[in-house]
């Protein structure tokens, strides 16, 4: 197994909390698990460290913890970059992209209360992934996808059931604004969607004043 495959597997397991925040990763155990020497695992962990999925603690690597400060910093960056990305997506989206966006809208509307937090978060990630790609800016798309992937852990770590209607309300507004090329509406909906994301992590119901 090569270092990239090990990196991808570990990252997915970290994102979906299969490897919990704060856990120390044992290099020898990981090498045995993947059936490789320690070197490919070290290369994978070094890349994960560069992207802040893990942090180095002496000779050990520890899965990065979920902290309020980290969440605040991610939200501040997202609030700046994602709104601009959505505007570029609106102006650059292809007909195929619009068709995919409408299909996602149908999926969102078809969600029932039986949907798990993981299913809800996965659908939201697909929604944003589509918009990021439609910016036609590969570097920005990669940056935002990595940032949103860090957000996933915060969403999934909470004990609260995500309220589908309130969580996706602004997403549907974003889709409508993109269809009608309404930049003012898009800015407002994008900003509100990020706030709802933060409220969801904090366990705040935006429908309760």
Catalogue all structural domains in the chain, each as residue range(s) with its CATH number: 3-63 (1.10.10.10), 68-202 (1.20.120.530)
Q: Which of 80, 73, 153 lies closest to 121, judged by CA?
A: 153
What average pLDDT score do residues 180-186 get?
A: 97
**Angle, helix 164-180 to helix 68-92, in steps of 10 degrees:** 30
pLDDT for residue 72 is more than 50: yes
Strands 54-57 and 24-25: unpaired
What average pLDDT score do residues 100-123 get?
A: 94
Q: Which residue's structure tokens are 């490897």?
A: 19
What average pLDDT score do residues 138-153 get?
A: 92
What average pLDDT score do residues 137-155 get?
A: 91
Tokens of 195: 């706030």
pLDDT of residue 205: 54
pLDDT band at 208, cuts 50/70/90? Answer: very low
3-state secondary structure 95-112: HHHHHHHHHHHHHHHHCC
pTM (two decimals): 0.86
DSSP conformation letters of the chain: --HHHHHHHHHHHHHTTSS-TTPEEPHHHHHHHHTS-HHHHHHHHHHHHHTTSEEEETTEEEEPP--HHHHHHHHHHHHHHHHHHHHHHHHH--HHHHHHHHHHHHHHHH--TT--HHHHHHHHHHHHHHHHHTTT-HHHHHHHHHHHHHHHHHHHHSSSPP-HHHHHHHHHHHHHHHHHT-HHHHHHHHHHHHHHHHHHHHT--TT--
What average pLDDT score do residues 170-176 get?
A: 96
Chain centroid offset of residue 165 CA: 19
What average pLDDT score do residues 179-199 get?
A: 92
């Amino acid at each position: 197994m090569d270092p990239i495959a090990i990196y991808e597997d570990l990252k997915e397991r970290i994102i979906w909390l299969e490897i919990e925040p704060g856990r120390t990763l044992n290099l020898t155990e990981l090498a045995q698990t993947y059936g490789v020497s320690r070197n490919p695992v070290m290369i994978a962990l070094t890349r994960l460290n560069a992207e802040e999925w893990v942090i180095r603690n002496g000779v050990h690597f520890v899965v990065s913890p979920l902290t309020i400060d980290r969440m605040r910093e991610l939200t501040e960056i997202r609030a700046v970059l994602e709104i601009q990305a959505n505007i570029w997506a609106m102006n650059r989206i292809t007909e195929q992209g619009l068709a995919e966006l409408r299909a996602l809208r149908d999926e969102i509307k078809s969600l029932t209360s039986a949907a798990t937090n993981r299913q809800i978060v996965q659908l939201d990630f697909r929604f944003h992934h589509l918009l990021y790609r439609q910016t036609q800016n590969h570097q920005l798309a990669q940056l935002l996808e990595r940032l949103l992937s860090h957000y996933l852990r915060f969403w999934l770590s909470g004990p609260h059931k995500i309220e589908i209607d309130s969580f996706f309300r602004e997403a549907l507004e974003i889709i409508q604004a993109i269809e009608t090329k309404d930049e003012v509406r898009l800015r407002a909906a994008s900003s509100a969607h990020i706030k709802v994301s933060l409220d969801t992590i904090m366990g705040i119901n935006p429908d309760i004043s």
